[in-house]
């Protein structure tokens, strides 16, 4: 099973502007992006690793509109920066999607991330939400605490 397609506006509108992508290119690598004919866990043909998009000024709207949850939620501390955590997270309706770096497939099961994801699931549950982790071929629904 592949990761969920990237969804524009997936993470909501708030931009924590002090947070910058830096050398992170996870969202140009980990998601399946149908509009770019890009499979999951494959670097977009327009991306240079650790540098970014070579068509930045003309990149598709879904790329312009996307911000991962680390950019939009101040409940995620610096340890959740995607390269640090080994995963990128975004929201898509009731689903919180966690895409794990295939070179660190156990990242989500290590602390503090395992506890953090359980807490995310517990917070989402009363609102009808849930958290799904994609790590390689494994797809896991996170159990709330």
In the complex, which residues of this chain contact ligand SF4 (CB under 6 A)?
Answer: 21, 24-28, 33, 36, 44, 46-47, 53, 55, 59-60, 63, 67-68, 70-71, 82, 88
Give φ, ψ of 52 to 5 degrees.
Answer: 120, -160
CB 33, min distance to ligand SF4, A: 6
Q: What is the smallest separation between the CB atom of 63 and ligand SF4, expressed in angstroms?
A: 3
Q: Which is nearer to ligand SF4, 34 or 143 (CB)?
A: 34
Instruction: Give the residue from 21, 15, 17 showing the smallest Cα distance to 53.
Output: 21
Q: Which lies closer to ligand SF4 via its Cβ, residue 49 or residue 145?
A: 49
Token pair for residue 142? 């996170």
Task: Give the integer Cα–Cα distance in Å for 84 and 79.
Answer: 6
Question: Cβ of residue 128: shortest distance to ligand SF4, in angstroms?
Answer: 25
Contact 124, 94 (CB under 8 A): yes
- Is the dihedral angle over the CA atoms 16, 76, 86, 134 positive or is it negative? negative
- Cβ 144 to ligand SF4 shortest distance, Å: 25
Nearer to ligand SF4, 59 or 91 (CB): 59
**Measured between alpha carbons, how far is residue 40 from residues 26, 56, 75 in Å?**
11, 20, 27
Residue placing its CB nearer to ligand SF4 in the complex, 8 or 105: 8
């Amino acid at each position: 099973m592949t990761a969920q397609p990237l969804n524009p506006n997936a993470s909501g509108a708030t931009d924590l502007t002090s947070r910058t992508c830096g050398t992170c290119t996870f969202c140009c690598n980990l998601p399946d992006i149908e509009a770019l004919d890009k499979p999951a866990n494959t670097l977009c043909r327009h991306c240079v690793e650790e540098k970014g998009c070579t068509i930045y000024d003309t990149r598709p709207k879904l790329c312009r509109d996307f911000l991962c949850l680390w950019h939009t939620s101040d409940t995620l501390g610096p340890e959740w920066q995607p390269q640090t955590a080994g995963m990128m997270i975004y929201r898509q309706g009731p689903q919180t999607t966690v895409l794990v770096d295939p070179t660190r497939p156990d990242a989500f099961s290590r602390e503090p991330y395992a506890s953090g994801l359980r807490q995310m699931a517990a917070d989402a549950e009363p609102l009808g939400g849930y958290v799904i982790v994609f790590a390689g071929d494994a797809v896991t629904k996170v159990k709330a605490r």
